[in-house]
């Protein structure tokens, strides 16, 4: 019963969240999977680590696919390079059990997530203010 309620909450949250909020949730999930995978590798649970790294890989792949080069080709090119680097390191971590590869992904993507954490609420405030100004 509780699991069903939590599942419904997550479904409603996903359908009512702004694109920026979804982006932050993806980054949060990515970092959660990376932390858990690192812990699994350190404790010798490679199959579970591989599963978690696969989920992290899927999130980065979605971020990569979502890049819109028409809006900002230079920014998208830079983000694509970061995402490609991260996917490469996740593969390395999964195949070799290399926790340092996970650390590299976290090191590279943390500043990006931090920047989004500042930009998304600011954009939402500006959007709300613009709506009020139109009334």
All domains of the chain in start order, with CATH: 19-120 (1.20.120.340)
Report CA-CA distances (Å) from 37 to 97, 106, 107, 110, 111. 10, 12, 15, 17, 20
Find the mean pLDDT for residues 119-129.
Answer: 85
Residue 87's pLDDT is what? 98
* % of the chain with per-residue pLDDT over 90: 73
Instruction: Give the pLDDT confidence of 34-81 residue by residue, as tens digits.
Output: 999 999 999 999 999 999 999 999 999 999 999 999 999 999 999 999
98: left (phi over 0), alpha (psi -120 to 50) or beta: beta
Tokens 């009020």 appear where? 132
How many whole angstroms separate alpha carbon 97 and alpha carbon 91? Answer: 9
Instruction: Kindly report the average pLDDT of the chain as a whole number.
Output: 89
Find the mean pLDDT for residues 90-96.
Answer: 97
* % of the chain with per-residue pLDDT over 70: 86
- DSSP character for 107? H
């Amino acid at each position: 019963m509780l699991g069903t309620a939590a599942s419904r909450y997550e479904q409603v949250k996903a359908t009512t969240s702004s694109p920026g909020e979804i982006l932050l949730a993806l980054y949060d999930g990515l970092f959660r999977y990376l932390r858990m995978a690192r812990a699994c590798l350190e404790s010798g649970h490679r199959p579970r680590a591989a599963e978690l790294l696969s989920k992290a890989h899927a999130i980065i792949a979605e971020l990569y696919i979502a890049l819109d080069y028409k809006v900002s080709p230079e920014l998208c090119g830079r983000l694509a390079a970061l995402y490609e680097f991260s996917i490469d390191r996740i593969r390395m971590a999964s195949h070799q059990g290399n926790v340092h590869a996970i650390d590299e992904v976290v090191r590279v993507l943390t500043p990006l997530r931090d920047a989004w954490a500042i930009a998304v609420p600011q954009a939402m405030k500006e959007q709300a203010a613009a709506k009020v100004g139109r009334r």
